[in-house]
Structure 1
Amino acid sequence: MIRIACLIYDGFLLLDATGPLTAFEIASIHRPGAYSIELVAEQAGVVRCSGGVTLNAMAFRDSAGCDLLLIPGGSGAQNASNVQGLLDLIRDAALQGRRIASVCSGAFLLAESGVLHGRRATTHWAQAAELARLHPTITVDADSIFVRNGDIRTSAGITAGIDLALAIIEADYGVEIARRTARSLVVPFRRPGAQSQHSAMLDLVRPNDRFGELLAWARVHLAEPLTVERLADRAALSVRQFNRAFTESTGVSPARAIERLRLEGPRAALEEGASSIEAITRDHGFGNPDRMRRACIRVFGKTPQAMRSRVIPAGSRKKDGRDMPAPVPRLKP
């Protein structure tokens, strides 16, 4: 059994905590005994979330310890960063080799504690610039849904915490348990961490445009065949009507729109140095590497190999390519 402790504080965002915890709870239904879950705080007692709901938490030091420490975000995250005791709990968990995961602005707590020093991390796109300004030693990725550096994981806003939890479940218990969990939650399986928090293609759609919902649906079904006929049927139009109306609305053909959506995930994965082009091709519905290669050249002017330019400046690398943990500095009281 893997023990999860969710560290809450005054002003945390309720869904940042309950979203991932529910994923772990449901995974334990599909695989009995998979996880145990505790709500912990610096001190035992009632903790108020940003919306006013209160929860009872035990003192972290009185708990049985944990294998994974989960840090939700919320409006209180930057205020909580002034509480030295809370930062000490996070820092000590890192020094003890526990896995740590943050959701949204929970990354500010990890940053203030020092555990993100020299690492790459993400947070909600709207707060990424502030995180980078306050902590220049962190390489802030304002685009990815979640980022993993060794035993430290950070994720973007709210629902990205569920994506992160599903990725953890998959790593712990395999694809099938994670897939069943996603199905029970009625959420996509799987959105890769490198997938962008926002979509340049979706940004082309005007407010109230009838094709916005269609493109959002297509974005989570990219591993499936997305023919013009299927898209037209979902839009309740004939193929001819659909082609004309879609092109007039977005400025690109349906085929080019799907190609751009398919390239968003591969682009981030390639720039992160993902090892298998074949796996990227499969996960994003290109069918074969040569087709993805041609699409990359057409849209980005580069081959997939040439796009592997992004370096993770977190710690150093072992010979097998895994990240070495960055040192955890002790902060002055």
Structure 2
Amino acid sequence: MPTVALLTAGHLLHFELGVAYEIFGNPPREATAGWYDVLLCGPGPVQVGPFAVEPDHGLERLVGADTVIVPACADIDVPPPAEVVEAVRAAHESGARVASLCTGAFVLGAAGLLDGRRATTHWAHAAELSARHPLAEVDPDVLYTDNGSVLTSAGKAAAVDLCLHLIHLDHGAAIANSVARRLVMPLHRPGGQAQFVATPVQARGDHALSQLLAWAQQRLDQPLTVTDLARRANTSPRHLGRQFRSVIGQTPLQWLLTQRVRRAQELLETTDESVEAVAHATGMGTATTLRRQFKRVVGVPPDSYRRSFRSSEPATSRR
């Protein structure tokens, strides 16, 4: 029987730990060929939200487990304990598949498991994860990443997606779908589907690019170029590119595309505008271009997104 070790160290978030325990600890009736032996592993009792959790095993039991699940950390500003980091590293070196849920990625990063690998976490903390672990390829948009022996997920619901993905890998689609139905979850959301991030709040006034970003966001319906942005910032396109990569973590064109897509999300959610009109309002030009870029960034077509996230009463109706 394969073992799934749930890390119960530090101040964890109870949702992610509870989700993993519920999914891996309760076999569906269809799993007649066996399920998982779930272990709670940690250095001692921990507070998980309002609950106290007493682990069944010490951290040393992570070594030898088939899968190690690292739940989310409640405070990413507090470094994970050295003994926890070492135990996760040792488990991976011993052959365990290690998966983080939400901000649990910071533990994997501290253990060096994200270096040279694609990773994600909750979009609000992705920039910090990238800054701390520059050798990782942090993708703030996807639901989860799978590098074989190292997997990471975004926040909350994406933790469920990753757990279901692991069951799919181990037991096949029919069993994974059975678990999903029990959880009243979609049968399958691929890892590449985007985190549906709201339009980001403007950077603070003392931000190096704050005024330029605000200026550009007011003109997303216009065909802005990097040259236009550089001219506005009174600098060269090359220097502006370096600034964007340093401050934003994207090139100017990547940032512009992201803002156009986020604005399109807002219009699809709150108005009755046609896809063609949304394309013009966001500087995409045509509905074909919007559909292609929107699906690439968000993971679903604009029409599907509107059906999922449509407000009950649109703010405007200008079809």
Q: So what's the TM-score if we normalise by structure 2? A: 0.64
Distance 2:53 2:89 in 1: 24
Q: Distance in 2 between matches of 1:157 and 1:261?
A: 26
- Using the TM superposition, give the Cα deviation of residue 25 of structure 1 relative to its aligned residue in structure 2, in angstroms: 3.0
Pairs within 5 Å for 1:237-256: 246-247=272-273, 251-252=277-278
5+ residue gaps, structure 2: 198-261, 280-285, 305-319
Give runs of aligned pairs for residues 297-312 of structure 1, distance below 5 A. Answer: none
Instruction: Answer 1 or 2: higher relative contact order, Cα 8 Å, separation at least 6.
Output: 1
Structure 2: which amino acid aligns with 1:148?
A: D
Secondary structure of 1:204's match? helix
The letter for the 2-side match of 1:8 is T
| Distance in 2 between residues matched to 1:259 and 1:173, nearest whole Å | 39
CA 203–60 in structure 1, closer or farther in 2 if over 3 Å, else same = same
| Helix, strand or coil at the partner of 1:38 | strand
Task: Tell me if 1:204 matches 2:263.
Answer: no
How far off its partner does 1:76 sit? 4.0
Query: Number of matched residues?
Result: 229
Structure 1, residues 8-48: CA drift from partner, whole Å, max 9, x if none? 2231001111113322234444314311111111x2x3210
| 1:75, distance to aligned residue in structure 2 (A) | 1.7
C-alpha distance 47-259 of structure 1, shift in aligned 2 (>3 A): farther
Pairwise CA distance, 1:96 = 0.9
Q: 1:110 to 1:252 in 2, by over 3 A?
A: same
For 1:72, give the aligned amino acid: P
For residues 289-304 of structure 1, the aligned pairs below 5 Å read none
Q: Deviations over 1:147-187 (max 9, x none)?
A: 01121000000111100011111111111001111111001
Tell me the distance in 2 between the aligned counterparts of 1:142 and 1:27. Answer: 32
* Preserved CA contact (<8 Å) 1:27 1:178: no
Partner of 1:34: 35
> Are the aligned partners of 2:267 and 2:278 in contact in 1 as well (CA < 8 Å)?
no
Aligned to 1:234: none
Which residue type is aligned with residue 170 of structure 1? H
Counterpart mapping for 1:278-289 below 5 A: none
Aligned twin of 1:114: 112
Q: Which amino acid is the alignment partner of residue 247 of structure 1?
A: E
Change (3 A) 1:261 1:70: farther
User: Matches of 2:86 and 2:29 in 1, distance apart?
Assistant: 33
- Between the aligned partners of 1:87 and 1:147, the Cα distance in structure 2 is 20
Partner of 1:172 in structure 2?
A: 170
What runs of 5+ residues in structure 1 fail to find an aligned partner? 210-244, 270-279, 285-333
- In the superposition, relative to structure 1, how do residues 249 and 62 fare at CA in structure 2: closer, same or farther (>3 Å)? closer
Written as runs of structure 1 = structure 2, the 5 A alignment for 1:1-333 is 1-32=1-32, 33-41=34-42, 43=43, 45-49=44-48, 51-57=49-55, 58-62=57-61, 65-81=64-80, 83-198=81-196, 200=262, 201-205=264-268, 209=270, 246-247=272-273, 251-252=277-278
**Counterpart residue identity of residue 46, structure 2:** V
Cα distance in structure 2, aligned partners of 1:123 and 1:21: 20
Asked if the contact 1:87/1:109 (under 8 Å) is kept, the reply is yes
Distance in 1 between residues matched to 2:162 and 2:296, nearest whole Å: 18
**Alpha-carbon offset, residue 74 of structure 1:** 2.3
- Structure-1-length-normalised TM-score: 0.61
Q: Over residues 235-273 of structure 1, what are the superposed CA-to-partner deviations in whole Å (9 max), with x where a residue is unaligned?
A: xxxxxxxxxx723799549xx99996897555678xxxx
1:129 partner letter = A
CA contact (8 A) 1:122 1:144 kept: yes
| C-alpha distance 204-154 of structure 1, shift in aligned 2 (>3 A) | same
SS at match of 1:105: helix
Shift in CA distance, 16/87, structure 1 to aligned 2, threshold 3 Å: same
Question: Letter of the aligned partner of 1:203 in structure 2?
Answer: E
* CA-CA distance at 1:142 after TM superposition: 0.5
Distance of 2:178 and 2:118 partners within structure 1: 30
> In 1, Cα distance between the equivalents of 2:31 and 2:298?
32
